[in-house]
Amino acid sequence: MKNDLVVAIAGVTGAVGAEFIATMDRRRFPVGKLKALASARSAGKTVDFRGERIVIEELTERSFDGVDIALFSAGGGISRKFSPAAVKAGAVVIDNSSAFRMDPDVPLVIPEINAHRIREHKGIIAVPNCSAITALVPLWPIHRVNRIKRLILSTYQAASGAGAAAMAELVESTRASLNGEAYPPKVMPHPYAFNLFSHNTAIDPETGYNDEETKVIKETRKIFEDERIAIGVTCVRVPVLRAHCEAITFECERPISEHEVRAILSTAPGVRIVDDRAKNYFPMPVDASGQDDVLVGRIRKDLSDTSGHSISMFVSADQLLKGAALNAIQIAELLPERAIA
What is the tens place of the pLDDT at every residue in 187-209?
999 999 999 999 999 999 999 99
The question of whether 235 is a catalytic residue gets the answer no
Domains along the chain? 5-127+324-339 (3.40.50.720), 132-319 (3.30.360.10)
CB of 262 within 8 A of CB of 313?
Answer: no
What is the tens place of the pLDDT at every residue in 83-141?
999 999 999 999 999 999 999 999 999 999 999 999 999 999 999 999 999 999 999 99
Q: Which of 121, 130, 235, 309 is catalytic?
A: 130
H or E element, residue 296: strand 294-301
Mean pLDDT for the stretch of residues 260-289: 98
Q: How far is CA 127 from CA 148, 263, 309, 328, 338, in A?
A: 22, 28, 31, 6, 21
CB of 76 within 8 A of CB of 16?
Answer: no
> Quick check: 338 pLDDT over 60?
no
Q: Is 75 helix (H, G, I), strand (E, B) or coil?
A: coil
Q: Which of 121, 143, 199, 244 is catalytic?
A: 244
The question of whether 130 is a catalytic residue gets the answer yes
